[in-house]
Structure 1
Amino acid sequence: MEITVNDQSREIPEAYSVQQLLSGLFPDTSTGIAVAINQSVLARSEWERHLLQPNDRITLIKATQGG
């Protein structure tokens, strides 16, 4: 199925969770990441349970260090 992540189309399998998506995109860490789906912020506690749907628009924001 097709979703959009930060304005880029991606194909993912059916029954794919937010946690699975993040593990694929950020294999080294999942800390410092905020997730919004269709403009609604999703709590970290929901990442494993929330299954993505066709045409979902996901916004990922990764915190960085610096000044």
Structure 2
Amino acid sequence: MESYMYKDILEKEMLSSGRSQMGRGWLFQQDNNPKHSSHFFKDWIAQHRVNVMTWPSQYPDLNPFEHL
């Protein structure tokens, strides 16, 4: 998947769901995958005023599913 495909998915699903179900103060969480950190995607996030949680790269202790 590339940045443009990821953006399309988030635009169609994430924006409407996040705002309608969680209100204005919701945070979006993602890892530091290259498609998430591309300039194209960062510009898109800024234009749509999405609050993204800061996530250190390759930090496994923050992944709760890894320890189940």
**TM-score band (shorter)?**
under 0.3
Greater helix proportion: 2
Greater strand proportion: 1
